[in-house]
Structure 1
Amino acid sequence: MQEFPNIILYAIPFFIVSMVVEIIYTIKFNIKSYNTRDSVTSLSMGIGNVLLGFFSKAVVIAAFYFIYDNFRLFTIPISWWSFILIFFADDFSYYWFHRVSHECRLFWASHVVHHSSQKYNLSTALRQTWSGGFYTFIFWLWLPLIGFHPGMILLQMSISLLYQFWIHTEAIHKMPKWFEAIFNTPSHHRVHHGSNPIYLDRNHAGILIIWDKLFGTFQEELEDEKVVYGLVSNISTFNPVKVAFLEWYLMFKDAFRQKISIKNRLNYLIKPPGWKHDGTSILSDDLRQQWLKNKQHDV
């Protein structure tokens, strides 16, 4: 593991300097991207994620090595070409982890943390889960199974996380067209953080936006539809503990309410956020279809 340093820890000074530069830029051009209490909450979530990461990373490493040492089908050497392969394999895994995190409430319970801010800036990138690291790694278990070394996997996961830091900004409008066509960008990711119906559950990319285009979840940022950041129903708190665990509480409260079947209890864990057993569900797709219908009517 000494060959694969934790680049996230080395990047912390870069994170700090970048946020200072962005703050100066937003003040100069009167871009109201920052709120002090909101940013403190985001930083607190990031610190908590790093501290808990010492425990969750141990679980992840143990799981990766257990599969790699006992069940791997091949042995992929650590070489330049294998790093190209794992770049695509990791990004593919991230896309499906991210997409499922929006479509299954059990995973949304941890991921919602990252969407809870109503501001969008570099500090928002640090608003990370305190619970997801203990179970979301299952989307990467196929990598040690086919023979990628656990150290390589963890390094590429860190590279992906590091890449996604800079796209959390309103200071960059658009990148060159060729870049926008292939890679995840601030514009694409602003859409992902939008609570507007047309933007819900779109652009799940890590580094490459091609997966969203391939699997039908891509949405371009519209010039006439300004992104409204946050959740469909915002939690309205800056308390880091509430931000971290409120959705867990609400999910289990729904799942263990009285007088519902075992099947429906399970559905509250695996169905999308917004699902209700009594047929009154209003899901992201419902809101999007209604938005499109209204848009066509206006035209």
Structure 2
Amino acid sequence: MEILLENLPNPFVYFIPVFAILILAEVYISYREDKELYDVKDSFASTWVGIGAAILNTLTKVYQIGFFFIIYKLFEPLREQYLGYESLGWAWWVWVLCLVGDDFNFYWHHRFCHTVRLFWAAHIVHHSSEKFNLGTAFRNGWTIFFYKPIYWMWMPALGFDPVMLALCMSFNSIYQFFLHSTLVPDIKGMNKVFNTPWVHQVHHACNVEYLDRNHGGIFIIWDKLFGTYQPREHHIAPKFGVLHPPQSHNPVKLNFHEFSDIWKDVKRAKSWEHKFKYVFYPPGWSPDGSTKTAKQMQQELEMQLNAVPVTPVSNNREQAVS
């Protein structure tokens, strides 16, 4: 296990200068063209959240890789007996499969982060900024690292080397950094297969039309396959942030305010069924409909848009008066 970790390179180290240069360039363009892409307090909040996430990611790396390694070794006899191999190896096509499989896992992990309130509580910090810029990419939740590897466990079981898997997960995260910018125009051909900054704006918007859409990491094909794709409409400008912002730049509150709100709702709930639903149903669920989920709001919006407008007819008395 120690040898495994010693031989595991960290691609992020090589990209830090690139990240820094691009953020500074975006800040400069924002200032020069008066785009207001950055806010001082918001940027400091993203920085501190990002530092905390980086520290926790480093501290949990042993746990994550160790978890993959245990699964990898545990299923080795079964692979030999039923599949005829110990490991899938390091061929180029295995790398391709690993990248695709990793992004498939990320899609479902990310989708559940938006549709299960407990997981949303861990993820909401990434969406709480009302600014959409490259600095937002580092605004990651501090608790996600503890449960995220569960979605990936089938891959080491199937024979993907834990080091290869960890590297593919890092490559996915690096790619997603470049998605967080409004300065990149619509690249229509690329949008057919890959996630792009233009498409990712939809994911970070809190417009009802855009809620819970475009969950893919590198590829956007998962959203198209599983019904969560929403193109960025030119006539609907994205409003970034969340429907109920935390009203704070404190990194601790940004990470844990939704957990606190869940606890308050659970204590107030009158039945165990409602307590369960407050935790595991989509964000916004309520037993009396006083708050609504994204799907409920989208259904109501669709009904409003499809409603046939009725022209009011004046009665005889009104006509006589006029």
User: Deviation per CA, 1:236-287, whole angstroms, max 9, x where unpaired?
Assistant: 11110100111111112222x1562223222222111111234434110111
TM-score by length of 1: 0.95
Q: Pick one of 167, 170, 174 that aligns with 2:179.
A: 167
User: Deviation per CA, 1:31-54, whole angstroms, max 9, x where unpaired?
Assistant: 121111101111111100011112
Match of 1:60 in 2: 64
For structure 1, list consecutive stretches of 5 or more residues without a partner in the other structure: none
Match of 2:192 in 1: 181
Match of 1:21 in 2: 25
Give 1:217 deviation, angstroms: 0.3
Match of 1:8 in 2: 12
Does the residue aligned with 1:168 lie in a helix, a strand or coil?
coil
The alpha-carbon distance between structure 1 residues 259 and 91, as it changes in their structure 2 partners (threshold 3 A), is closer
Aligned-partner Cα distance in 2 for 1:23–1:10 = 22
Give the share of equivalent positions with the same residue, in percent: 38
Match of 2:36 in 1: 32
Aligned-partner Cα distance in 1 for 2:237–2:189 = 23
Task: Confirm whether residue 285 of structure 1 aligns to residue 285 of structure 2.
Answer: no
Does the residue aligned with 1:235 lie in a helix, a strand or coil?
coil
Aligned-partner Cα distance in 1 for 2:289–2:157 = 41
Aligned ranges 1:1-299 → 2 under 5 Å: 1=4, 2-72=6-76, 73-74=78-79, 75-175=87-187, 177-255=188-266, 257-258=267-268, 260-297=270-307
Aligned-partner Cα distance in 1 for 2:253–2:269 = 28
For structure 2, list consecutive stretches of 5 or more residues without a partner in the other structure: 80-86, 310-322
The alpha-carbon distance between structure 1 residues 39 and 80, as it changes in their structure 2 partners (threshold 3 A), is same
Task: Indicate if the aligned counterparts of 1:34 and 1:121 stay in contact, CA closer than 8 A.
Answer: yes
Aligned-partner Cα distance in 2 for 1:173–1:191 = 14
Aligned-partner Cα distance in 1 for 2:167–2:127 = 25
User: Deviation per CA, 1:175-213, whole angstroms, max 9, x where unpaired?
Assistant: 2x2211110001110000000000000000100000000
Where relative contact order (Cα < 8 A, 6+ residues apart) is larger, the structure is 1
CA RMSD of the aligned region, Å? 1.6
Give 1:3 deviation, angstroms: 4.2
Q: Which amino acid aligns with 2:276?
A: L
User: Deviation per CA, 1:113-136, whole angstroms, max 9, x where unpaired?
Assistant: 100100000001110111110112
TM-score by length of 2: 0.88
Give 1:4 deviation, angstroms: 3.4
Aligned-partner Cα distance in 2 for 1:142–1:104 = 21
Does the residue aligned with 1:164 lie in a helix, a strand or coil?
helix
Aligned-partner Cα distance in 1 for 2:120–2:24 = 31
Aligned-partner Cα distance in 1 for 2:59–2:262 = 24
Task: Indicate if the aligned counterparts of 1:182 and 1:208 stay in contact, CA closer than 8 A.
Answer: yes
User: Deviation per CA, 1:68-92, whole angstroms, max 9, x where unpaired?
Assistant: 1112443211221110110110010
Larger displacement relative to structure 2 (26-35 or 206-215): 26-35
Aligned-partner Cα distance in 1 for 2:70–2:110 = 24
Aligned-partner Cα distance in 2 for 1:106–1:90 = 23
Match of 2:314 in 1: none
Give 1:293 deviation, angstroms: 3.0
Aligned-partner Cα distance in 1 for 2:93–2:238 = 39
Does the residue aligned with 2:177 lie in a helix, a strand or coil?
coil
Q: Which amino acid aligns with 1:128?
A: N
